[in-house]
Structure 1
Amino acid sequence: MAEYDYVDPGFFNTSSDGSRGHERFLEFRKVFLPCMYLGVFICGLAGNALVLVIYVFYQKLKSLTDVFLVNLPLADLVFVCTLPFWAYASIHEWVFGDVLCKTLLGIYTLNFYTSMLILACVTIDRFVAVARATKAYNQQARRMAWGKAICLFIWGASLLLSLPQIIYGHVLYLDKLVCGYHDEEISTVVLATQMTLGFFLPLVAMIVCYSVIIKTLLRARGFKKHKSLKVIFLVVAAFLLTQTPFNLVKLIRSTNWEHYTMTSFHYAIIVTEAIAYLRACLNPVLYAFVGLKFRRNFWKLVKDLGCLPYLGVSGQWKSSDDASKTCSASHHVEATSMFQL
């Protein structure tokens, strides 16, 4: 985020064409970044807050998946709350001081690691729920205890991993005040850690676990098998489409500093960054709203708020409730169609 937020004009060509291209890029960034930050902030705040409200007030934590799906929107929610500060700084400059600079850099990194590691845990939990369905069902209490311990460990480890940003982050003047960490060695370590834990680990977990899940579902005769397969492909596709471009650009950036002289490269950075941050908006849809139990509780919330008569969906809420009860009638069905959480 912050390390890509400012481009030293000295890196660009000094020709008139290079100067005009740099000016056009600065104008584009000044409009695009605030719109992207605020858009993700609004959608991510609404979606993740709704998920938290439903889990806290309507849906008891009865499974390990529920434990993970409470921590996931919490991580994304704290992440999106930092975006208005970066939106303002991208329009003007950093005016919030050195302490808040370190704090927001730490919060951003903390919740980046937390969110991505929890995504990996959700994937592994779904693998266990399908490939080891009977064992997982018989050890629910133990798995719940382990799940809470794993979440605490993830938050603690993420805090430790965010210490470089907290320690080395500061405000400096580069034609304007910017917040970031500009130590080359620290940036290399941070990039390697983010690539490993924030991209490759969840990617490997998805490839391995979902491959086994797909094989298991293809053998099973459980109902809604094809819908579960569609959800798997949607989850993997969303992760690849949102995270791969930005991580690829970061890899290219780390291998050759000369890309800093290319205006097109800086367009690629901010556009792929915007795509990567869409995960905070997509996670509530992919990991909560696809579940019948969650949708049932959502309609309960809508009913309690008195919105059903205005939406004209009271019958839909009732049918959704009936469908969810039918869905949970068989343990075998619940195990093989675990996406209907």
Structure 2
Amino acid sequence: MSTDEDYDAYLSAVSKYDYEDEFFSQFSKPFLICMYSFACIFGVSGNALVLIIFVFHEKVKTVTDIFLVSLATADLCFLGTLPFWAYSAAQEWIFGTLACQVIRGFYTLNLYGSMLTLTCVTIERYFAIVQATKVHVSQSKRTIWGKAICIFLWIVSLAFAMPQFVYSTQAKYDKVVCHANYSTLHMEQSIEVTQMSLGFFCPMLVMLFCYLTIINTLLKAKGFQKHKSVKIIFAIVATFFCTQAPYNLLKLIRVVDRRILFSRHYEYALIVTEAIAYFHSCLNPVLYFFIGVKFRKNLKKIVKNIGCARHRQTAKQWQTTEDNSSKMGTASNNVEETSLHPL
């Protein structure tokens, strides 16, 4: 092949790469902005409503309630970072290295916090249903233990999220980005394997074991309808698995074979699955509303109270208007009566 042919082939390859890169950018920007914005708006609203219902209306009475409040708190902390990622996807990272460290750290903190909390909810349900006749602990002691476990989970989650707080940095490539810059490839692979193992695969194995045992116990029990609350946990765990599994599997492939990073198909799949993984934080309140009887009851109570408050406000405004009209009518009559008499 001649030199000119080589040069033409090179220009063709470069042009094709530029076209693919431009097409990828046109896809990723609107997709990520829409996903992040939707998750943030609905997630913050839903999880804030969960906290309002559990803390102010229903009150935190059981260990499961404590864990669900902790889960909603973790989701809120994570969702608060999405506006930064949305802007970074649309333009570039402009918030500096400190914000990069905090925001990437919050994502990992939420990952561990959510997964470990769900694992604890599963274990608590396991003891409450399968080991009900063997474990006799008062409700007050169970609540104290639940709060202590939640504090411990947050400390553990913070410890495992520390590499993101330490090694995340702002860097300039085609545009300014926020990413983790580890000192060696071995360190990066070790941290990713630890995150996937302790933050996803191990908890899922524990959940599968506990729930298979719970299902077996419930099928043998006569009062299966008494355990409707377990369906909430089933739905939450299933949703978390469906949203988190694809992303974690792609990360596992990346650890095993680094050459996959040069695949444009892998980049598309990673962006889509990562956005879906972020999206799980706004799904839990939806599950509470459609499945949880207690949640629906308190939500209806809040809506009813808001409606009553608006009705009282409207009635008060009407009463004020009528009083003012009455006063104006009386004043008008007085004026007419006065005008009939000469001064």
TM range (shorter): 0.7 to 0.9
Shift of 1:285: 3.1
* Change in 2 beyond 3 A, CA 1:301/1:102: same
CA deviation map 1:142-165 (0-9, x unaligned): 221111111001111111112111
Q: Hey, what does 2:164 align to over in structure 1? A: 165
The within-5 A match list for 1:94-173 is 94-136=93-135, 138-173=137-172
Q: Which residue of structure 2 aligns with residue 316 of structure 1? A: none
Does 1:212 pair with 2:209? no
- 8 Å contact from structure 1 (residues 169, 179) kept in 2: yes
Query: What is the rounded CA distance, in whole Å, between the counterparts of 2:308 and 2:25 in structure 1?
Result: 45
Report the Cα distance in structure 2 between the residues aligned to 1:147 and 1:288, rounded to whole angstroms: 24
Q: What do residues 237-287 of structure 1 show as CA deviations (whole Å, max 9, x unaligned)?
A: 323321111111111111112112111110000111112122201222335
- Pairwise CA distance, 1:291: 2.4
Return the letter of the residue paired with 2:169.
H
Judged with a 3 Å threshold, the aligned counterparts in structure 2 of structure 1 residues 40 and 98 are, in CA distance, closer, same or farther, namely same
**What is the root-mean-square deviation in Å for CA atoms of aligned residues?**
2.4
The 1:186/1:86 distance shift into structure 2, 3 A limit, reads farther
| 3-state SS of paired residue (2:76) | helix
Distance 1:165 1:91 in 2: 23
The alpha-carbon distance between structure 1 residues 106 and 229, as it changes in their structure 2 partners (threshold 3 A), is closer
Find out whether 1:24 has 2:46 as its counterpart. Answer: no
Which residue type is aligned with residue 125 of structure 2? R
1:96-130 per-residue CA deviation (whole Å, 9 max, x = no partner) reads 11211111122221122111110111111111111
Question: Within the alignment, does 1:75 sit opposite 2:58 as a pair?
Answer: no
Maintained 8 Å contact 2:53/2:59: no
Contact map agreement 2:43 2:76 (CA 8 A) in 1: yes
Asked if 2 retains the 8 angstrom alpha-carbon contact of 1:69 and 1:288, the reply is no
| 1:233-252 mapped onto 2 (5 Å cutoff) | 234-252=235-253
Give yes or no for contact 1:67–1:147 (8 Å, CA) kept in 2: yes
Distance 1:231 1:279, change over 3 A: same
- Specify the alignment match of 1:56 in structure 2: 55
CA deviations on 1:11-48 (whole Å, 9 max, x unpaired) are xx944333322221111111111111111111111110
- Structure 2 equivalent of residue 66 of structure 1: 65
Q: In the superposition, relative to structure 1, how do residues 48 and 155 fare at CA in structure 2: closer, same or farther (>3 Å)?
A: same
Does the C-alpha gap of structure 1 residues 67 and 232 become closer, same or farther in structure 2, counting only changes over 3 Å? closer
Q: Does residue 282 in structure 1 map to residue 276 in structure 2?
A: no
In 1: Cα distance, 2:308 partner to 2:205 partner: 42
Name structure 1 gaps, 5 residues minimum.
Answer: 1-12, 311-341
Structure 2 counterpart of 1:262, which letter?
S
**Map of 2:337 onto structure 1:** none
Residue 300 of structure 1: how far off its partner (Å): 1.4
Name structure 2 gaps, 5 residues minimum.
1-11, 312-343
Code of the aligned partner of 2:21: H
Which of the pair has more CA radius of gyration? Answer: 2
User: Is the contact made by 1:127 and 1:209 (CA closer than 8 Å) also made in structure 2?
Assistant: yes
1:79-102 deviation per Cα after TM superposition (whole angstroms, max 9, x unaligned): 001000010011111111121111
**CA contact 2:193–2:252 (8 Å) conserved in 1:** no
Q: Counterpart of 2:112 in structure 1: which amino acid?
A: Y
Aligned AA (2:285): P
Which stretch shifts more, 208-217 or 295-304? 295-304
2:329 corresponds in structure 1 to: none
Show the 5 A alignment for 1:166-315: 166-183=165-182, 184-224=185-225, 234-286=235-287, 290-306=291-307
Q: CA deviation at 1:229?
A: 7.8
**How many pairs are equivalent?**
298
Aligned partners of 1:41 and 1:290: how far apart in 2?
22
Q: 1:130 to 1:151 in 2, by over 3 A?
A: same
Scaled by the length of structure 2, what TM-score is found? 0.80
**How far has the Cα of 1:176 moved from its partner?**
1.3
Deviates more, 1:115-124 or 1:219-228: 219-228
Residues 257 and 264 of structure 1, relative CA distance in 2, 3 Å threshold: same
* Distance (whole Å) between structure 1 residues aligned to residue 41 and residue 23 of structure 2: 27
Match for residue 92 of structure 2?
Answer: 93
Identity in percent = 50
TM-score by length of structure 1 reads 0.81
1:230 Cα deviation from its structure 2 partner: 6.2
